[in-house]
Each structure stands twice: as structure tokens, then as C-alpha cells.
Amino acid sequence: MIEDIALLGFCFILAIGGLATVVWGLVTGRFFTIDGLWLALISLTLSVVFGGNIAWLVYTGDLQRILGAFRKGSSPGSAANEEAAGHK
């Protein structure tokens, strides 16, 4: 479970960071240079990839499972029992 939470946090930080980079480029005026356009393109690509992972977790319902286990503070043994029972 801790791996899932770490992956979710990592994806969230990178998705928001990519969007923040684009906003920063727009605010400072660097967006309208070739370097700024490339930075925006790369940042948006990273945001889509890592945001897509979060969207997939929402779509499949795994996000509710992860957050539910996090709220319960389940032990590693109970997480293994859930997966063995087929509650993926």
C-alpha cells in the first residue's frame, strides 16, 4: 500500500509541476520564445503522462481502494488478505 501512495504522490507532484512550469513561462513571458515553447511542450507532455496515471487510477477505481486503505491505516497483513480475497 505504501508503494501505491508513493506512486500517487509522485505522479501528482510531477503533473502539477509540469502545469506550474507552463504557467510560470506564460507569466514571465518566456513562453513566446523557442526555448519557452519547447519547455512548455515537454512540461505538458510530462503532465499528461503522469496525470494520465492518476486518471487511470480514478477510472479503474483503484484510487478509492488506495485512499480507503490509507484512511484505515491498514497493516501489511490485512492488505495481503484483501488482495488474496480478490478485492483489487
Q: Hey, how many other C-beta atoms are within 10 angstroms of the C-beta on 16?
A: 13
1 and 76 Cβ atoms separated by less than 8 Å:
yes
pLDDT tens over the chain, length 88 residues: 788 888 889 999 999 999 999 999 999 988 889 999 999 999 999 999 999 999 998 899 888 888 888 888 755 555 555 555 555 5
Look at residue 1 in the predicted model and tell me its pLDDT.
76
Look at residue 69 in the predicted model and tell me its pLDDT.
82
Look at residue 72 in the predicted model and tell me its pLDDT.
84
Whole-structure pTM value? 0.69
Cα 69 to Cα 22: distance, rounded to the nearest angstrom: 34
